[in-house]
Amino acid sequence: MFLLDEYEWKNDACFLPPDEELVIYEIHVGDFSGGIDDPNARGTFTSVLEKIDYLKELGVNASMELIFFLFEIIKFIF
């Protein structure tokens, strides 16, 4: 890991808690929803949005979306 201090961040006006209070959930959109009992379609951002309240209930206050194009590539290969 490295720090790049020269980059000027833009459009970053969202609130983030202090680092020691962050609860980050890494989301892979392709696998996040669409299980057997889940009425939502698998692999859609809409399905992820519909579960935001659930993540908040768990105490999650930040998310990181993992690469989403790889899901279709892996599905195609296997």
Full-model pTM: 0.60
pLDDT in tens, 11-50: 777 777 888 999 999 988 777 776 677 776 677 788 888 8
Q: Quote the distance between the C-alpha of residue 3 and its chain's center.
A: 22
Amino acid at 61: N
pLDDT in tens, 48-77: 888 889 999 999 998 888 766 655 555 555
Cα separation, 68 vs 45, in Å, equals: 10
| Helix (H), strand (E), coil (C) string for the chain | CCCCCCCCCCCCCCCCCCHHHCCEEEECHHHHCCCCCCCCCCCCHHHHHCCHHHHHHCCCCEEEECCCHHHHHHHHHC
